[in-house]
Amino acid sequence: MKNLEPKGLWNAFYSLTQIPRPSGKRKEIADFLVSYGKSLGLETLQDEIGNVLIRKPASPGMENHPGVILQGHMDMVPQKNSDKMFDFEKDAIQAYVEPNGEWVTADGTTLGADNGIGVATAMAILADKEAVHPPLEAFFTVDEETGMYGANDLKPGWLKGKYLLNLDSETEGELYVGCAGGVDVTANFEYQPVETEQGDIALCVEVKGCKGGHSGCDIHLQRANAVKLLFRFLKEAVSNYEARLACVEGGSLRNAIPREAAAVITIPEECYQDVQDLVDRFEDLFLSEYDGVETDLHFTAREVECPKTEMPEDVQDFLIHAITLCPHGVYRCIPEAPDIVETSNNLAMISTKEKMVNNQMVHVVEVCCLTRSSVESRKDELASVIQSAFSLAGADVVLSGAYPGWKPNLQSALLKTMKETYSKEFGAEPRVIIIHAGLECGIIGSKYDGMEMISFGPTIEHPHSPDERVNIATVQKFYRFVQAALKAL
């Protein structure tokens, strides 16, 4: 990988793969970027939350041009295949060039091209003494993937540039000028467990092998949600085979479609074969429904040690009904552009845990959703629908982490220059797109009135999943475009 062109970019990206940087693990990657900026003799700043800003003076003759900001986020999504032994807090990403020579990917984990390629691009431009550019700032934010905390905590006045190039998009040849906003919806079911029925046995039922993917970019692909599949089974098992739910886990990130989910259930011993047959029928059903979409989906059950306690029957039933009712996927497309998603929800995570409430230990099932929309009122509407579904089921529901969408400015001077530059370099018109995924542009723009912004990047497939890979030829093209755009601005 280090021998690929442009070498400065790929060597910088290789360095990033060696630094564990899942969301929340900020210090090591931030320290690396601070050290990098200082090693180049450039003004390097870090704010209280950990964002890093590196300033590079303009090339001779461009001192009076408006300043440009190259912006990306430090963190990556930590997703791995279930059979992969890997610790995102400690281990380096095992990246490699695929045998066909066209893609860079990772061995059983996310690659971190989202947004490592963007960060590496800015690093390469900072180090390139031949690059021609206006006054330049490289701005690296923390924890974009878990809540855009770096952008949210950005102080007004820290950035000086007029134009911001967000390097966090995933299809070469497209210029993004707007994005959806989002809000987290979290429902908590508190309960005191009850004793398991004497003579019952326990099964662990698991959905595995779903493709998952980015809950913004991939939500329209109709991929399976492992949590929703599991609860379809649970509803029938509880209704017809006296199953009881002891605990449940599924999904791992708010902005990734759940790839795996598992539950421990208890059943009367005489129902064992019937439930195993039910598992087989549901696996056949899921494979039939997702034929051509999910190629490695598995639904299995295995006997495990019987737990001493399980959920109260009413909590179990309310939870199952709420998950069944909770929408997942595309809720509404833009009427004027029916191929573009306007509003969606990702039923992202479910977990069973214990916590202290009023000096008493209670059990909690927590359900997390990420609701997105490019229309603020639609976002609020769908979040309210989900809130009602869980509230009626007796859960405590909290809406948090709301962030604004990015309203497009199709008349901006930046967009005009970027389109002209792309056409001149490549002999083709770039597509101008409003993206359903969340970008930091909306948040940054709310703090810097009048700043013009564009988001673009190379082609990255399957971000937020272990199938993530980046196309080598488009990285070369992307870097050339960044260089040309800086010269034109």
Instruction: Give mean pLDDT, residues 416-423.
Output: 98
Q: What is the pLDDT of residue 232?
A: 98
Q: What is the pLDDT of residue 336?
A: 80
| Rg, the chain, Cα only | 24
Q: What is the pLDDT of residue 238?
A: 97
Q: What is the pLDDT of residue 106?
A: 98
Distance CA 10, CA 1 (A): 7
pLDDT band with cut points at 50, 70 and 90 for residue 82? confident
User: Peptide bond before 6: cis, by omega within 30 degrees of 0?
Assistant: yes
Q: pLDDT, tens digit, for every residue of 106-164? A: 999 999 999 999 999 999 999 999 999 999 999 999 999 988 999 999 999 999 999 99
Instruction: Give mean pLDDT, residues 442-463.
Output: 94
Catalytic one of 137, 143, 144, 170 = 144
Distance CA 149, CA 168 (A): 16
Which of 189, 142, 446 is closest to 311 using CA atoms? 189
Q: Which residues pair with 244 in a beta bridge?
A: 266
Residue 431: strand, helix, or coil: strand
Residue 84 has pLDDT above 80, yes or no: yes
Distance CA 191, CA 50 (A): 38
Residue 270: strand, helix, or coil: helix
Q: What is the pLDDT of residue 339?
A: 86
Instruction: Give mean pLDDT, residues 208-215.
Output: 93
Q: Which residues pair with 195 in a beta bridge?
A: 309
How many helices (H) does the chain have, and how many strands (E)? 12, 23
Task: Convert 171-187 to b/e letters by CB count within 10 Å (16 or more is b).
Answer: bbbbbbbbbbbbbbbbb
pLDDT band with cut points at 50, 70 and 90 for residue 358? confident
Q: pLDDT, tens digit, for every residue of 297-311? A: 999 999 999 999 999
Question: If you average pLDDT over every residue of the chain, what do you get?
Answer: 95
Does residue 119 or residue 404 have the better pLDDT?
119
Domains and CATH numbers, the chain: 7-180+405-488 (3.40.630.10), 183-403 (3.30.70.360)
Asked whether the beta carbons of 302 and 204 are under 8 A apart, the reply is yes
Residue 434 has pLDDT above 90, yes or no: no
144 in active site: yes
Q: What percent of the chain has pLDDT over 70?
A: 100
Longest dimension (CA), the chain: 84
Residue 25 has pLDDT above 80, yes or no: yes
Distance CA 210, CA 293 (A): 9
Q: pLDDT, tens digit, for every residue of 290-300? A: 999 999 999 99
Lay out the sheet containing 95-97: strands in order across. 95-97, 103-106, 469-471, 460-461
Distance CA 350, CA 229 (A): 13
Residue 356 has pLDDT above 80, yes or no: no
Q: What is the pLDDT of residue 423?
A: 98
Catalytic one of 75, 145, 170, 452 = 75
Helical ranges in 257-358 per DSSP H: 272-289, 313-325
Residue 239 has pLDDT above 90, yes or no: yes
Q: What is the pLDDT of residue 192?
A: 94
Q: What is the pLDDT of residue 361?
A: 85
Q: What is the DSSP letter of 386?
A: H
Q: Which two tokens stand for residue 438?
A: 């969340």
Q: What is the DSSP letter of 219?
A: G
Q: What is the pLDDT of residue 464?
A: 87
Distances (CA, A) of 416 to 205, 277, 445, 464: 54, 61, 19, 32
pLDDT band with cut points at 50, 70 and 90 for residue 54? very high
Distance CA 325, CA 232 (A): 11
Residue 453 has pLDDT above 80, yes or no: yes
Residue 334 has pLDDT above 90, yes or no: no
Element (H or E) spanning 244, and its range?
A: strand 244-250
75 in active site: yes
Asked whether the beta carbons of 119 and 74 are under 8 A apart, the reply is yes
Q: What is the pLDDT of residue 357?
A: 74
Element (H or E) spanning 363, and its range?
A: strand 360-373
Distance CA 445, CA 407 (A): 9
Residue 217 has pLDDT above 90, yes or no: no
Q: How many CB atoms lie within 10 A of CB 288?
A: 8
Q: What is the pLDDT of residue 386?
A: 98
Q: pLDDT, tens digit, for every residue of 173-187? A: 999 999 999 999 999
Residue 233 has pLDDT above 90, yes or no: yes
Which of 147, 164, 157 is closest to 69 using CA atoms? 164
